[in-house]
Amino acid sequence: MSIIAEYGNILVIMACVFGFFMAWGVGANDVANAMGTSVGSKALTLRQAIIIAIIFEFAGAYLAGGAVTATIRKGIIDPAILSGSPELLVYGMLSALLAAGIWLMAATAMGWPVSTTHSIVGAIVGFAAVGISVDAVHWAKVGKIVASWVVSPVTAGLIAFFLFRSVQKLILDTEDPFKNAKKYVPMYIFLVGFMISMVTFTKGLKHIGLNPGFANSALISIAIAFITMLLGIFMLRKIHAKTEDNSDYHFASVERVFGVLMMFTACAMAFAHGSNDVANAVGPLAAVVGVVASAGEVAQKSAMPVWILLLGGSGIVAGLVMYGHKVIATVGNNITELTPSRGFAATLAAASTVVFASGTGLPISTTHTLVGAILGVGLARGLSALNLKVVGTIFISWLVTLPAGAFLSIIIFFSLKAIFS
């Protein structure tokens, strides 16, 4: 307790710096996953993608980031075991943030789309199991999280596969693809608007005191989705089929219609990503602030200060703007050739999977989800459409991430323990 009283302010400042650094890494590595399909399919320029990400990542982090943050903050470690030595929890959360941040910076420099969720969960489990005791870890909860890393890409891949199949059947394989694109794309836009609104109202607004209930949420979401669809129809009116557009690529005019849809799905994916992955940066920070603010009491429940979510959102945006272009190239261009129609299917499938996981408080990997969705779209066109060498490199980087986060976290944990204790 005396360590918390003596060094409390220093520990909170360190947590803020490390938390911002981790959020920076999330922005640099993971937001590229949210925007990679949009930029890779040429539906958006890099500048447009960054502007959308700034607005919707921040909104997702602030409005719907509370549920997952609770899991990262207090769902992985048993707080009761640490009640007599709260400083160990503080050292551990600091080491987890710094370790995950360092690994993310290294992976981003290589252009690897690794999982920020893997990084932070691996780091927390590493310091807790080695630095405290194996019993300090909620292994059942960790098992659920690990299972979600397999389930989420498979789920997103299946949704993307069938979404793109529906695009092929309703639009691309018909006699008049352009006419059918204008007919069906507004329905897809309605789906995007409804999905994001529903999850935000039912799960995301509780921590800021708003809970309209399921029925009211559904009605409001339908209204928002309808307005979104009308906006999409207005934008689509400006697009006309041009014969010269289709000279090189038969579906060029159709893809311009899907380019409008990609703007909406890019917003959805950015919101979904912000809601799920802000927890990776601010969950451990919230744990440190909670322990110091209560003078060393390790609470089972504690309120999430708004400024912490704002700090996480700011760090994510900074990382994207400064370094996000590295991984955008890998995700957008190198796994499979993306067009707006393919990118839409991948992005909407990934966003759907992430927002529902975020609503249930399960910190799934956005990276795994989106790569799974892109693979699903590629498979809908045949195995030859995939760059299997790049896919193999990505899978290897995923396997390395968890032990790398754990190893770095253990070293930093014992270093902090030696400095302060």
* Neighbour-count burial of 140, counting CB atoms closer than 10 A to its CB (0-12 exposed, 13-18 middle, 19+ buried): exposed
Predicted pLDDT of residue 65: 65
Residue whose entry in the numeric block shows the structure tokens 């500048």: 47
**Dihedrals φ, ψ of 138, to 5°?**
-80, 90
Per-residue tokens: 191? 């789906």
**Nearest-CA neighbor of 351 among 219, 193, 230?**
193
Dist. CA 338–CA 340, nearest whole Å:
7
* Tens-level pLDDT at each residue, the chain (421 residues): 577 777 888 999 999 999 999 989 888 887 776 677 777 777 778 788 888 888 888 887 777 666 555 655 556 777 677 777 788 888 988 999 999 999 988 888 887 778 777 788 889 888 888 888 888 888 887 787 777 777 888 888 888 888 888 888 898 888 888 888 888 888 988 988 887 777 667 655 655 566 677 778 788 889 999 998 998 888 888 887 766 555 445 577 788 888 887 787 778 777 777 776 777 778 888 888 888 887 666 665 556 677 887 888 888 888 888 877 767 766 655 566 667 888 778 878 887 787 677 666 666 777 778 788 888 887 777 666 677 777 777 778 778 888 888 999 999 999 998 988 7
Predicted pLDDT of residue 410: 94
Per-residue CA distances from 272 to 29, 66, 169 (Å): 15, 13, 28
Residues linked to residue 137 through DSSP beta bridges, in sequence order: 77
CB-CB neighbours of 78 under 10 Å: 19
Query: Is residue 369 within 8 Å of 156, Cβ to Cβ?
Result: yes
Half-sphere exposure of residue 32: CA atoms within 13 angstroms, side-chain side:
31
Predicted pLDDT of residue 409: 94
Query: Is residue 274 within 8 Å of 58, Cβ to Cβ?
Result: yes
Dist. CA 204–CA 9, nearest whole Å:
31
DSSP 77: B
Query: Is residue 177 within 8 Å of 258, Cβ to Cβ?
Result: no
User: What pTM did the predictor assign?
Assistant: 0.77
CB-CB neighbours of 143 under 10 Å: 10
Question: Rg of the Cα trace of the chain?
Answer: 22
Name the amino acid, one letter, at 62: Y
Per-residue tokens: 86? 């709260």
**Dihedrals φ, ψ of 111, to 5°?**
80, 20
Predicted pLDDT of residue 334: 58
Dist. CA 54–CA 40, nearest whole Å:
18
Determine the distance from the C-alpha atom of residue 301 to the mean position of all C-alpha atoms in its chain, rounded to a whole number. 24
Predicted pLDDT of residue 385: 65
**Nearest-CA neighbor of 405 among 153, 9, 105?**
105
Dist. CA 408–CA 34, nearest whole Å:
27
CB-CB neighbours of 12 under 10 Å: 17
DSSP 113: -
Query: Is residue 312 within 8 Å of 282, Cβ to Cβ?
Result: yes
Domain segments of the chain: what residues?
A: 2-420
Determine the distance from the C-alpha atom of residue 15 to the mean position of all C-alpha atoms in its chain, rounded to a whole number. 22
**Dihedrals φ, ψ of 386, to 5°?**
-95, 145
Predicted pLDDT of residue 254: 82
Helix/strand/coil for 42: coil
Dist. CA 305–CA 116, nearest whole Å:
22
